[in-house]
Amino acid sequence: MTRLRPQPAERIDRSKPISFSFDGKQVDAFEGDTIASALLASGRKVMARSFKYHRPRGELGGAAGSGTALVQVGDEPGVRAAARLVVPGLRVEHQNAWPSLDFDVMRATDKFGGPFTPVGFYYKTFIRPRRMWPVYERVLRKAAGLGRLPARQHERLWETEYRRRHCDVLVIGGGLAGLSAALRAARMGADVVLCDEDVEPGGALLAEGRHEHVRARADEARAAGVEILAGAPALGYFDGLVPIWQGDTLHQVRARQFVSATGALEQPLVFLDNDLPGIMLAGGARRMAALYGVAPGTTAVVATVGDEGLEAALGLHAAGIRIAAVADLRPDAAARPAAERLVAAGVELLPATTVVRARGNSAVERVVLARIDGAGRALPGSARELHCDLLAVSGGLVPASSLLLQAGARSHHDAATGRFLPGALPPGVHAAGAVAGHPAGAAELAGTAAGASAAVALGLGGQKARRELQEARALLDACEPAAPQAPVPACAHDGRGGGKAFVDLDEDVTVKDVRRAADEGFDVIELAKRYTTVTMGPTQGRYSQLPSVRVLADHTGRSLADVGLTTARPPWSTVPLGALAGRPIEAAKRSALHARHRELGATVRWAGDWRRAYDYGDPEAEALAVQETAGAIDVSTLGKLLLRGPDAGELLDRLYPNRMSTLRPGRIRYGVLLSEMGRITDDGTVCRLDDETFYVTTTSAGAAAVERWFSWWLTDWGLDARLTDVTQGTAAINLAGPKARDVLAAVTPLDCSNAAFEYLEAKHAEVAGVPCLLLRIGFVGEVGYEIHCAAPQAQRVWDALFEAGAAHGLRPFGLEPQRILRLQKLHVLIGQDTDSESTPYGAGMDWTVKLDKPQDFIGRWALEHAAERDPAHALVGFSVPGGRIPHEGAVVTVGGMPAGQVTSARRSPKLEQTIGMAWVPHELAHDGARLTISDAGTSFDAVVTTKPFYDPEGAVLRS
Amino acid sequence: MSTLAFLRADHGATAPLPRSPLAAETAAAGSSPAACRDTVGWADSSLLGKLELQAPADELAGLRAALGFEQAAAGVAARGDAGWWCPLTPTRALLLGAAGATGALAALVDGADGTAGQSAARVLDVTAQFAAITLAGPLARETIARFCALDLRPAHAPVAALRPGSVARMPGIVVREAEERYLLLFGAAYASYAWEVVADAGARLGGAAVSEDALPPINAPKEVGSHA
């Protein structure tokens, strides 16, 4: 293979030679070459091996959407050779072949594996014995892989950029129709984005002699403000959002109007051994010649069913490639103007003829042309064999309507043109050019009309614009329809044995496979698709949808219209999963003390949407320190709401089952929040700061939900109160332990004595010079103070506490020791020990419910009914003789049957035993009852307790 | 000490200086205005003074007028001598002022409240609740587009546009302060995460972290922003 003489439209720069490697060997190329064009120019036709049969494959379409030549580029598998530009030093390798691309031992699958690999062979050949499936699976995966990912996860990093782009009009497709649409809409004042999967806009006309016109149009569009995304396929249409993948960027485009100008896809012909390298779509071969100056063959045969193949033959001939013959299936082909030009150029034209077989070892060497009967069989005596090293085929055009169909359009088969066309379009969606069935000569007019239509729909342009739009539509309606094409056989053949005829080169699906699927009952296109995987490969059915429909229609005796198309689904173009996975940055909340925890060596884990200190290396020692000296834990994650106004107390009385309006300023009360069904949803403390101001804390996980709950009812009841969520800006430190009072007293002028600062009291005081709110409460069961301050001052307070606490043995403790400590007190952790069915009565929290208070409150009705009988289950404490620690969720059994579950369990270093909480049948909810816990395949006993394990009377807390 | 003093970040000379939630991240921020001029610069604005005002709609409107802010429609902030008036709902607004100025702002609000103590308006210093990052430069909008789906095109978000919404998957507010200057407000606990997101996006576009004094002034002359 050689380079052609410089071509007028070529996009390579011959003054800039570059080189890259393919399978370790240097390949010379020019700047602007794709991998496929450079390999073809170097003489390499075999670029890949097929998915199932490991047959040699070359470049079929010569365009970005083509998927037969997939290669490995560095660590990136499945790269389309026709879509990736070469750069100096690029390392390209073949994939799916061993030991080499030219000699692949797995080719034996093709030669000898036929009986073992029929369609659906996964479900047939490898179904028995069932236990062997894991072995089969490994072998099959290794044999059928398409490239390889790096072995280690950290080497698979994708650095995809995400970009949100709003625009007025998104035009998908950069051919003449798309460019015209974009230009018109932009000139009418719209903000327009245009995307095209090729490396430059222009579409098919770039290679068809009108490159100057479309390139000028692209320049005009840019000048008009159109943002052109090249090398950027649209992946799908998601209710108005169109993701567009461009190299390392995923554009998420939201437009008010969409114009699809995605053109039409030239289809391959189906005949025996139609997958040999050297067989290309006619348009693809022409692109290679025109845009890259590459001769994909020295002697070509062209087989076509319409004018497109004739035009391609003319183009190849003009580029300097010898055309041995042109077979046009249309009986009247000679009357076509392009045919006349071909004949005038000395090219032999064979009307009513097509290709029935290709021959060659690793690439096409000869082709058999023949006249065929209605079933695609060669007529006796009509076969003629020609030598060639390029077979350019053109099996008609299929509108690339997938995105329109995803947007809600329905396709129908147009008998006049023999094409599936999109029908009525949904609002805000427009189509222009070949995708809409417009003839090639009307692309510019169709695009201009679509662009104007989109702009008018946006309210742009005046009466004149509307009038021009009407005129353009009228002209469009008056255009000649697209040129007719010959009815295409499902499969043309010479009636002899041997060879495979493929309908899907991506998935190695043959005509025989589709027929067999229909015979086995999968005779609906959607079922046949799933059974055979036809259209499910990298090209997403671009080149296999119509051939498979033709085969199914032919085999089942139905029309193409009756068989129809499969449902169009994203992605329209393949995209690495890594590109869709998002940036590897987690949306995390961190307290103002986070840096201190890191410095102290904390194990940081997720707790809801917070990153929290789980422990500082030794949770049991941290728990002991809290009970023997003092500990401090960052509880800034607690939800914190400020409620102000004359009706603030009234609101709280209606939301909590106990009385909050009776709190005196400076006092604190615990409360649970209930659903209307009387189930516990959250808990926390309420502190009255002054007559009209309450400070409410919630669980860390429940903060947002409680804020919404309060806001909802505040609005609904129309009470005079204002709510502000101060969670994120307010830090809180829980200082607890026998020495806590001493530590606190060292950093505040406040009288911290028990007489001056009682349990469940709140005080305003400076700590280390920082104004703070101090709450004397004790979730961990020791004398404790929650110190609340503005987050920007939290480090100052924390540092001061530890400076003062050094002499008292103060140490930080994390979530895990906190859980041990609260379990000793049987303090319930909402969401951990309760679920959506838990009432205060079942949870042993009767004391939080005041049914005698005058106000109605959320959940009252349900609790009144619940109070009439004992709950079926109760939350109790338990200890486990022997020290075994059950898993949370372990089953409590009675008589061998499940009767409850463990919600929490830990080893208490203070008590030197395993303690926990569990829901048990009510009859077992008494001190000393024996439980059986079934956990991880074994059962063991536990003993029930209903009182806290530590300080059951609360004397320590109040001391 | 007032009841709500513990919520205030800044107490002037009577307490230690407040520490921004982004203090560690911004330690290396440069003071050169080059990034803001050529690409994009981003700065920590977390210590901007922020007051939340809640009152019945008519009273809130009166307060706004008394403070000298023009009437602002939904989605539009008003610029005045005191800073930005950001209406979030008819009964709730944010008042953004200079760093360390919340005391003065609160006094201003008290002074403007002409109802002689009968006002139902509630004023709260929420400086600590919100962290803030300012992005400035020709690629500021493009940078935000890397992590935020809000439509900030000039025609849809002119100067003074106020856009509450999802910013980098967290609840946030965007204020377009000038042609090429955007203020992002979000919960203070998200500050480190937000900074990482902004830096990740901005660095890819050639931008850099800058100190607040490297930001262009809000009343800079209008320039045409680059197309994004």
- Whole-angstrom distance, CA of residue A537 vs CA of residue A517: 18
- Whole-angstrom distance, CA of residue B58 vs CA of residue A172: 49
Q: Which pLDDT does position B69 carry in this prediction?
A: 94
Of B107, B126, B145, the one marking the end of a domain is B126
Taking alpha carbons only, the member of A827, A782, A787, A785 closest to residue A684 is: A827
Per-residue pLDDT tens digits for A227-265: 999 999 999 999 999 999 998 899 999 999 999 999 999
User: CB within 8 A of A741, min separation 6: which ones?
Assistant: A752, A753, A754, A783
Residues of B in contact with A589 (CB under 8 A): 187, 189-190, 193
Q: What residue has token string 């967290």? A: B170
Does residue B204 share a domain with residue B176? yes
For the four alpha carbons of A828, A831, A834 and A837, in that order, the dihedral sign comes to: positive
Q: Which pLDDT does position B221 carry in this prediction?
A: 40
Q: Which pLDDT does position A65 carry in this prediction?
A: 85
H or E segment to which residue B100 belongs: none
Helix (H, G, I), strand (E, B) or coil at B78: strand
Does residue B90 share a domain with residue B197? no
Contact of A3 with A294, CB cutoff 8 Å: yes
Provide the shortest C-alpha distance from residue B71 to chain A (in Å): 23
- Whole-angstrom distance, CA of residue B77 vs CA of residue B62: 16
**B67 found inside a domain:** yes
Interface test with A, best of B1, B2, B6, B53 (most A CBs within 10 A): B6
Q: How many CB pairs under 8 A join A and B?
A: 152
Residue A249 touches partner B, C-beta closer than 8 Å? no
Does residue B99 share a domain with residue B54? yes
CB within 8 Å: B15 and A770 = yes
| Residue B66, domain extent | 48-126
Dihedral, CA of residue A183, residue A189, residue A193 and residue A195, to nearest 10: -20
Helix (H, G, I), strand (E, B) or coil at A647: coil
Does residue B208 share a domain with residue B140? yes
Residue A654 has which token pair? 């209606």
Of B126, B151, B167, the one marking the end of a domain is B126
Nearest CA in chain B to A582: B147
Backbone angles phi, psi at A186, to 5 degrees: -65, -40
CB within 8 Å: B19 and A795 = yes
Provide the shortest C-alpha distance from residue A446 to chain B (in Å): 28
- Whole-angstrom distance, CA of residue B184 vs CA of residue B191: 11
| CATH code of the domain in which B187 resides | 3.30.1360.120
Residues of B in contact with A788 (CB under 8 A): 6
Give the residue ranges of DSSP H helices in A557-642: 560-563, 577-580, 594-599, 619-628
**B9 found inside a domain:** no
Alpha-carbon separation of residue A177 from A205, A259, A459 (angstroms): 11, 10, 22
- ipTM (interface predicted TM): 0.94
Does residue B147 share a domain with residue B89? no
pLDDT band at B106 (very low <50, low <70, confident <90, very high): confident
Contact of A907 with A621, CB cutoff 8 Å: no
- Whole-angstrom distance, CA of residue B180 vs CA of residue A212: 38
Does residue B141 share a domain with residue B39? yes
Q: Which pLDDT does position B115 carry in this prediction?
A: 57
- Whole-angstrom distance, CA of residue A475 vs CA of residue A478: 5
Dihedral, CA of residue A831, residue A833, residue A837 and residue A841, to nearest 10: -120
- Residue B225 pLDDT > 60, yes or no? no
Residue A475 has which token pair? 């002209």
H or E segment to which residue A769 belongs: none
- Whole-angstrom distance, CA of residue B191 vs CA of residue B143: 17
Q: Which amino acid is at A488?
A: V
H or E segment to which residue A181 belongs: helix A176-187
Backbone angles phi, psi at B170, to 5 degrees: -130, 155
**B18 found inside a domain:** no
Query: Which of B54, B120, B190 is nearest residue A589 as measured by Cβ atoms?
Result: B190
Burial class (CB in 10 A: 0-12, 13-18, 19+), A283: buried
**B8 found inside a domain:** no
Pairing of strands A366-370, A91-93: unpaired
User: CB within 8 A of B214, min separation 6: which ones?
Assistant: B29, B30, B31, B32, B33, B35, B36, B41, B43
Residue B60 has which token pair? 């809130």
CB within 8 Å: A728 and B168 = no
Residues of B in contact with A790 (CB under 8 A): 6-9, 18, 127-128
CB within 8 Å: A771 and B8 = yes
Pairing of strands A897-908, B83-89: unpaired
**B176 found inside a domain:** yes
Q: Which pLDDT does position B144 carry in this prediction?
A: 98
Nearest CA in chain A to B120: A645
- Whole-angstrom distance, CA of residue A137 vs CA of residue A145: 12
Q: Which pLDDT does position A790 carry in this prediction?
A: 97
**Cβ atoms < 10 Å from Cβ of A251:** 23
Backbone angles phi, psi at A96, to 5 degrees: 65, 40
Provide the shortest C-alpha distance from residue B95 to chain A (in Å): 15
Helix (H, G, I), strand (E, B) or coil at A856: coil
- Whole-angstrom distance, CA of residue A131 vs CA of residue A124: 14
Q: Which of residues 687-706 of A touch B (CB under 8 A)?
A: 689-690, 693
How much is the average pLDDT of B94-102? 90
Residue A26 CA, distance from chain mean position: 37
- Whole-angstrom distance, CA of residue A826 vs CA of residue A904: 10
Question: Would you call the peptide bond into A129 cis, given omega within 30 degrees of 0 as the criterion?
Answer: yes
- Whole-angstrom distance, CA of residue A408 vs CA of residue B112: 56
**B16 found inside a domain:** no
Contact of B226 with B43, CB cutoff 8 Å: no
Residues of A in contact with B16 (CB under 8 A): 768-770, 793, 796
CB within 8 Å: A724 and B204 = no
Q: Which pLDDT does position A415 carry in this prediction?
A: 81
User: CB within 8 A of A40, min separation 6: which ones?
Assistant: A1, A59, A288, A292, A294, A296
Residue A796 touches partner B, C-beta closer than 8 Å? yes
Residue A242 has which token pair? 């169109």
Of B94, B126, B158, the one marking the end of a domain is B126
Q: What is the DSSP string of A341-386?
A: HHHHTT--EEET-EEEEEE-SSS--EEEEE-B-TTSBBPTT--EEE
Taking alpha carbons only, the member of B131, B154, B168, B174 closest to residue B22 is: B131
Does residue B152 share a domain with residue B85? no
Nearest CA in chain B to A222: B227
Taking alpha carbons only, the member of B165, B199, B164, B159 closest to residue B182 is: B159
Nearest CA in chain A to B204: A161
| CATH code of the domain in which B61 resides | 3.30.70
Q: Which pLDDT does position B113 carry in this prediction?
A: 66
The total number of residues shown for chain B amounts to 228
Q: Which residues of chain A have pLDDT under 70?
A: 1, 145
**B206 found inside a domain:** yes
- Residue B226 pLDDT > 50, yes or no? no
Does residue B202 share a domain with residue B104? no
DSSP H helix total and E strand total for chain B: 5, 11
Nearest CA in chain A to B52: A724
Q: How many domains does chain B have?
A: 2
Burial class (CB in 10 A: 0-12, 13-18, 19+), A937: exposed
User: CB within 8 A of A527, min separation 6: which ones?
Assistant: A517, A521
CB within 8 Å: A254 and B151 = yes
| pTM to 2 decimal places | 0.90
DSSP 8-state class, residue A576? -
Q: Which residues share a beta bridge with A301?
A: A325, A391
Per-residue pLDDT tens digits for B108-164: 887 776 654 566 678 999 999 999 999 999 999 999 999 999 999 999 999 999 999
Helix (H, G, I), strand (E, B) or coil at A454: helix
Residue B63 has which token pair? 């307060």
H or E segment to which residue A109 belongs: helix A108-112
What is the SS3 string spanning A794-846?
HHHHHHHHHHHHHHHCEEECCHHHHHHHHHHCCCCCCCCCCCCCCCCCCCCCH
Q: Which of residues 501-560 of A touch B (CB under 8 A)?
A: none
Q: Which pLDDT does position A482 carry in this prediction?
A: 72
**Cβ atoms < 10 Å from Cβ of A523:** 17
Q: What residue has token string 């990052």? A: B133
Residue B217 CA, distance from chain mean position: 14
Does residue B170 share a domain with residue B197? yes
Burial class (CB in 10 A: 0-12, 13-18, 19+), A742: middle
CB within 8 Å: B193 and A589 = yes
**B97 found inside a domain:** yes
Residue A918 has which token pair? 């569990």
Residues of B in contact with A727 (CB under 8 A): 187, 189
Does residue B132 share a domain with residue B116? no
Contact of A584 with A208, CB cutoff 8 Å: no
CB within 8 Å: B3 and A726 = no
Does residue B158 share a domain with residue B120? no
Angle, helices A211-223 vs A176-187, to 10°: value is: 30
Does residue B79 share a domain with residue B59? yes
